[in-house]
Structure 1
Amino acid sequence: MSRERATALLVDFDGVLRRWDPAVAARVEREYGLTEGVLGEIAMSWGLLQPVLTGKVSHAEWMNSVAEALTPSVGDAGRARAAVDAWQRYRGEVDPDVLAFIREVRSAGVRVGLGTNATDVLDADLAALDLTDELDVVVNSSVIGVHKPAKEYFQAACEALGTPPARVLFVDDEDRAVAGARVAGLSAHRWSGPADLRYLRAALAY
């Protein structure tokens, strides 16, 4: 039995539409005498990350926790805070190929949603990156209280798109999220870079 052709697109933010230059964090870590990779390692530790992704704490509270955890390495709370603030000033960059693709499919009448595990600064980030008007819906885990790869997250995303799961194509760079989307009934593609766009065009009904 052939699968229904997708009529809506759900795209991950970090790693797909937004790219991060690792050199920025590395520069901050060198400047403050930190071990390479420590900022991301602390921030992405599940005990600190999970609450902010589900809206239990704010982005600011999350970063306070990162600064507190970093303080022993720096030896000074003020310096740890300054390092975190310097790191956070960089908000990533838009992948121009992905943005062009989103514009292309929207102009063809395909609804496009942003499906992301994010914090309460997502709207500000979208505005800073001039993306506010580039998407039909934004599904932020910290707003709905559940994160990818939970089935409930994808159900909420499909409802926001007004499209049944079988008709939604989801694109993410993480295997767990792709697997979760498939469990929820969506078509899902593991993003590896702009070379994937040819496949995505073929998978959408436009």
Structure 2
Amino acid sequence: MAGTGPVEAVAFDYGGVLTTPVADSLARWRTTSRIDAQSFTACMRAWIGRKAEPDSPIHELETGRLGMTGFERALAARLLRTDGSRPEPAGMLADMFAGLRADEAMWELADELRARGTKVAILSNSWANTYPDRLHDGRFEPVVISGEVGLRKPDQAIYRLLCTRLGLPPERVAFVDDARPNVEGARRAGLHGIHHRDADTTRDALLSLLESGAAAGPTTSHPNEETRA
């Protein structure tokens, strides 16, 4: 059983945490590209749902074993447009995430934590994304990108790698993600998991955790987080 102690580091997911919601960008892409919603939902359930096969194209993309072009072709072959035609694969990933914008309140939170003496890091599942230069400006250390290390959330190994690179045991690390399975994976690995919904409540949860000395142990929840059935 993991011990308790002060939290010394906070790791953030990138897309949907340091940016506007990924779902909003995907919704805009589906509208502008006339993607049939039912075909997209069925594909995502098959490839990234809780019962997805471990070698699904998304898992392969996130671990770097499948390149952008191969993934776009596989995705286009599964999707339909609203007129029944297949979408053009080239440029699909860039279009899917084109609507993401920085959530400046979350970047300010990262700076606030650093000013308190707390380490801040990144742990992101990459879909062959291009990350902004400011992610590598020294604010975050380490920056762990799934496709670069061959591991992905919520696999336990990537959380262990994060802690190793931080030089801290998991009970001294908090992890913030907008995807509940990734938060649950962090908790199973002994980290303090916080489910992100918006900057204000995540800030409150993190500051409460830091100021409490992590007395609650590694299963700290987001304020008002509902219990998953």
Shorter-chain TM-score above 0.5: yes
Structure 2 counterpart of 1:7: 8
Identity %: 24
Q: Is the 8 A contact 1:120 1:143 kept in 2?
A: no
Report the residue type matching 1:162 in the other structure: G
Among 57, 61, 64, the residue aligned to 2:66: 57
Give the secondary-structure state (helix, strand or coil) at the position aligned to 1:170: strand
Structure 1 counterpart of 2:51: none
Report the residue type matching 2:156 in the other structure: K
Report the residue type matching 1:7 in the other structure: E
Structure 2 counterpart of 1:117: 125
Q: Is the 8 A contact 2:35 2:80 kept in 1?
A: no
1:67-82 → structure 2 map (5 Å cutoff): 67-70=76-79, 80-81=88-89
Between the aligned partners of 1:54 and 1:83, the Cα distance in structure 2 is: 20
Report the residue type matching 1:98 in the other structure: M
Hey, which of these two has a bigger chunk of helix by percent?
A: 1
What are structure 2's unaligned runs of at least 5 residues? 49-55, 214-229
Count of paired positions = 201
Give the secondary-structure state (helix, strand or coil) at the position aligned to 1:15: coil
Between the aligned partners of 2:196 and 2:34, the Cα distance in structure 1 is: 34
Q: Is the 8 A contact 1:43 1:63 kept in 2?
A: no
Question: How many angstroms does 1:161 deviate by?
Answer: 1.4
Question: How many angstroms does 1:71 deviate by?
Answer: 6.3
Question: How many angstroms does 1:102 deviate by?
Answer: 0.2
Q: Is the 8 A contact 2:35 2:79 kept in 1?
A: no
Structure 2 counterpart of 1:157: 162
Q: Is the 8 A contact 1:74 1:80 kept in 2?
A: no
Question: How many angstroms does 1:85 deviate by?
Answer: 6.3
Give the secondary-structure state (helix, strand or coil) at the position aligned to 2:132: helix
Between the aligned partners of 1:37 and 1:95, the Cα distance in structure 2 is: 29
Bigger shift: 57-66 or 150-159? 57-66
Cα 1:118–1:25, aligned 2, differ >3 Å: closer, same or farther? Answer: closer
What are structure 1's unaligned runs of at least 5 residues? none
Question: Cα deviations across residues 41-60 of structure 1 (Å, max 9, x unaligned)?
Answer: 64673322110111111233
TM-score by length of 2: 0.73
